[in-house]
A and B are shown apart, each in its own frame.
Chain A
Amino acid sequence: MDLLSVPDDRATAGAPASPSTAAAIRLRGVTKDFGAVHAVRGIDLTVVPGEIVAFLGPNGAGKTTTLDVLLGLSHATTGTAEVLGLQPRQAIARGLVAAVMQTGGLLKDLTVRETVTYMASLFADTQPIDAVLEHAGISDLANRKVGKCSGGEQQRLRFAIALLSDPALLLLDEPTTGMDVEGRRAFWAAIRADAERGRTVLFATHYLEEADQYADRIVLMRKGRIVADGTGSQIRALAAGRTVRATLEGADPDALSRIDGVESVEVRGDTVLVHAKDTDPVARYLLNETSAHDLEITARGIEQAFLALTGDHGDDDTTATLEGEPR
């Protein structure tokens, strides 16, 4: 079976190769072990500037570990990580990378303005503090103690801090948790506007739907490996597969496999099960050309497909097939 993956040379396909447009992210054969635990088992990933990428996978898939390597917070056991053509720490020192975590990272006894001023003083170049407060919509909270701010206000402060240095790469961990639909839409509109200026955004999420809606590209991780990598529509196609079940004596698996879009054929006695992206031709064939009866078509839910890709099969080498249209 083919692993759904996008070739590494998409960096050159997406943007003209020149020194100033180095890949925003380039991971080559990255692994990370914590003692006997293999958190990341070999990742190759290239992201071009301006791309919005969703990092999808269950807890323990290795998303956070991979983000830590990109942020220079931990070193890869083997392999190399480059951010905008630099070592992660070098990129951080130039204010090129920022991250927004879900919780923590703030001192409760500082005011909002003090927090932003403190952080701004650490970079060589930053936006003016008043402009940053204004942009984040926290100007009127400037003199409030961080500990007295609501969760939403603290999250806005975290964003203000992250955007201080106008980073070229922004890493987000579950960015819209706790936001209502309207807030979510406004948030992604702002992210999209920044991406058009060349900012690359990589966000970790549990929600396939959000990834599909807002990311240019979805990278699925499971057990420390990338198991799928493609556009939202490619991933959706994977999720949109259906199963045709029919009673048929002496089914011909080869003939069924040849139908366009068929992924797999199973024959269990008198029952035949056909998994396909598009099941209409399968149904037409079965009813017109064979003596099949008791036809039943069931949709494979998005969640089911997601689980199939990211769930635990006890088999580390399971990979997903995706016959999506070329990107």
Chain B
Amino acid sequence: MTTTIDPTARRVPPLGGFNLTVLRIELTRMLRNRRTIVFTFVFPAALFLAIGSSAGTQERVGHGNVAAYIMVSMALYGAALTAAAGGAMVATERAMGWSRQLRLTPLHPAVYISMKALIALILGAVAILVVNVVGLVQNKASMPTTVWVECAVLTLVCTMVFAALGVFVGYLVPGENAMQILGPGLALLSFLGNVFIPLDSGSTLWDIAAWTPMFGVAEVSRAPLTGELPWYAVVNAVAWLAVFVAGAAWRMSKDTARV
């Protein structure tokens, strides 16, 4: 560090600062976090074992059985929780002044959020994998292998909705409180979304539930298994994704005024 500083010799990094080093450090960091481990690995699997072990799990549903139906639902819940927690980390990092520090680097804000969303999806995939492995070991769930894979992939795609929700709530609620809203909130949405217990089709509760964010993605995730995909479920899933992405983008643009 003895040469003269030459401002004209400097370059801009490619891809707005996107790089694998950050992804690696962020992943290591998430996996070191005890709360993430509980959300991602332990909780959904335990819930699946608790609900999926009850009577009647061998009854047929579409191309598989009830145990498979519950397994897909629990994988979605686990992935949603994990992805939302990952997205909400944006809030904690803002409170700690980390976002401001990052604004003093070439990292583009949109790239920062994209990397966060990617981490959330990777962790969501881990959550899905864990529930599926537990289901495989338990050996109660039954469906064709292709359906199994299709359900897992669709669940991961649906996880994006909750990564966006996490970022949105993260920007909306200061600091550590985001997860205190997202945790119970997602549990409630899962009840309404037919994820924990089946709601009676045509009931008033069902009519309300059909409008909530977890309802659509749950139907979509299970579509390969059930063999049916109602149009309103797709509309629901796409609409909520749009709402959460727009919300996150709106809060982010407000944020740049004073990081």
Contacts and interface: CB of A to CB of B under 8 A. Distances in A.
Interface in B3-22: 3-8, 10-14, 17, 19, 21-22
Interface SS of chain B: helix, strand, loop or mixed?
Answer: loop
A99 B96 contact: no
B106 A95 contact: yes
B22 A107 contact: no
B254 interface: no
A135 B1 contact: yes
B106 A19 contact: no
Given A73-B258, A105-B98, A124 B106 contact: yes
Interface residues of B, number: 37
Nearest to A91: B7
A131 B1 CA distance: 10
Contacts of A72: 103
Interface in A208-261: none
A197 B106 contact: no
Nearest to B2: A197
A103 interface: yes
Given A110-B25, A122-B13, A125-B11, A104 B100 contact: yes
A144 B249 CA distance: 35
Given A96-B7, A118-B22, A71 B104 contact: yes
Given A68-B258, A110-B25, A119-B105, A84 B7 contact: yes
Interface residues on A, range: 35 or more
Contact of A93 (B22, B29, B106): B106
Interface SS of chain A: helix, strand, loop or mixed?
Answer: loop
Contacts of A22: 7
A103 B102 CA distance: 14
B97 interface: yes
Contacts of A68: 258
A127 B104 CA distance: 17
**Candidate in A68, A94, A127, A161 with the most chain B CB atoms within 10 angstroms:** A94
Interface string B154-193: 0000000000000000000000000000000000000000
B229 to A, nearest CB: 41
Contact of B97 (A19, A101, A119, A198): A101
B9 to A, nearest CB: 9
Contacts of B11: 94, 124-125
B254 to A, nearest CB: 13
A168 B5 contact: yes
Interface in A96-152: 96-99, 101, 103-110, 114, 117-119, 121-125, 127, 131, 135
A74 B257 contact: yes
Contact of B3 (A73, A97, A103, A197): A197
B7 A122 contact: no
A109 B106 CA distance: 23
Given A118-B25, A121-B22, A107 B98 contact: yes
B54 interface: no
Contacts of A109: 29, 32-33
B107 interface: yes
A296 to B, nearest CB: 51
Contacts of B2: 197
22 contacts: A20-B6, A74-B257, A74-B258, A94-B7, A94-B10, A95-B10, A95-B106, A97-B104, A105-B100, A105-B101, A107-B29, A107-B96, A109-B29, A114-B29, A121-B19, A122-B17, A122-B22, A124-B12, A125-B11, A161-B101, A197-B2, A197-B5
Interface of B: 1-8, 10-14, 17, 19, 21-22, 25, 28-29, 32-33, 93, 96-98, 100-107, 257-259
Closest 8 CB pairs of A and B: A104-B97, A121-B21, A94-B10, A105-B101, A124-B11, A124-B13, A93-B106, A198-B5
